[in-house]
Structure 1
């Protein structure tokens, strides 16, 4: 209409600079700037577990172990991922404060769940070999290795009454495949552990878990989902069960994927209801630990 930028800004109630940016095309159809996020949430959880094993490791050590788990990244990315940001810490603290007075009986009504990755090789110490001095480089004293060992992804659930059936996941998990897991493994877990009693389901904030269609699935099935703070593996007792299973696998030393799966199932089946109840009973202490740490990660 031939009006000046000042006249336009006064008429629509915004700043003249905003009008200028719009007219120059700078605010129209802008593409997202910056690099694409180079790690997944699952990869970030792996890094946190590495850090929790030894809080005094250097960035180089953390990056090396994270790379060996299958995540290629820089030292700068490692540094950014290690610490919770202020917003996440505040949400953890708020969540813990809300749950501060929950009893063990209330936590016993929660069905906790999680996915975990199991690799054919465990640790980074390598295989031990019997050899004499000077035989270090002999071919028969060397063992080849692969950069990315064969692995399987597993979904599981637990409550104060014990564990449910495991699901070995094929391929990447999206909303549709996750809902299949819920249908064929979560519901049987709930039936086994709770029968006809009511329960609350817990899972983290992975994209497949937070999808709108997944939320509708829970609504359609009449299942209450526990609100959960981001980046909080220390609040999920099933993480301790994964550690128990992985420690047992070090003794089993499977050589094939079938052997690995069988060993995982055997280790999972050996977990007792008493072990699960003790972990659920630790929830009030975990909550207090988060409050005492003002939202920072805890020893759990």
Structure 2
């Protein structure tokens, strides 16, 4: 997100009353690389051991395995950490696996004042997601 957008958002929302902020659920997902490879090799070895089997390490040139996780937090608590399995996050998966399973129950516990704050990732703005949020009458911050 560009710096100007962040500053503009902050200026527009800096005076939100604390009572209102208590009902906001902030959400995000992050991808963590399990086998990070920065291209550098770090090996401790004795002199003349360079090509011994114990000093050679295989690595994946395409980044290796990774895990995508989602979570939400608010003033009063947080959701469980959710690991997104088997592929990328789509609008349908976001609706079924996250909104329906985590956000809707959380919204029910907070009550009418509940507000969802997410980023503008493509799955979060899919038509199926917008229709679901409208049907469930979930307010969200743009």
Shift of 1:107: 2.5
Given the alignment of the two structures, is residue 171 of structure 1 paired with residue 87 of structure 2, yes or no?
yes
Aligned to 1:184: 101
Larger gyration radius, structure 1 or structure 2: 1
TM-score (norm 1): 0.41
Give deviations 1:109-153, integer Å, cap 9, x for gaps.
210111111222246386864422332332211211112211121
Aligned to 1:209: 124
Aligned to 2:14: 100
Shift of 1:189: 4.0
Instruction: Kindly indicate which of the two structures has a greater share of residues assigned to strand.
Output: 2
Whose RCO is larger (CA < 8 A, sep 6+)?
Answer: 2
TM-score (norm 2): 0.78
Task: Give the 3-state SS of the residue equivalent to 2:134 in structure 1.
Answer: helix
Shift of 1:223: 1.0
Alignment gaps of 5+ in structure 2: none
Q: Give RMSD over aligned pairs.
A: 2.7
Hey, what's the Cα distance between the residues in 2 that align with 1:189 and 1:133? Answer: 60
Given the alignment of the two structures, is residue 161 of structure 1 paired with residue 76 of structure 2, yes or no?
yes
Instruction: Kindly indicate which of the two structures has a greater share of residues assigned to helix.
Output: 1
Contact 2:30–2:68 (CA under 8 A) maintained in structure 1 = yes
Match of 1:114 among 3, 28, 31: 28
* Structure 1 residues 97 and 107: CA distance shift in structure 2, 3 A: same
Alignment gaps of 5+ in structure 1: 1-44, 46-83, 228-300
Given the alignment of the two structures, is residue 222 of structure 1 paired with residue 140 of structure 2, yes or no?
no
- Number of positions where the alignment pairs a residue of Structure 1 with one of Structure 2: 139
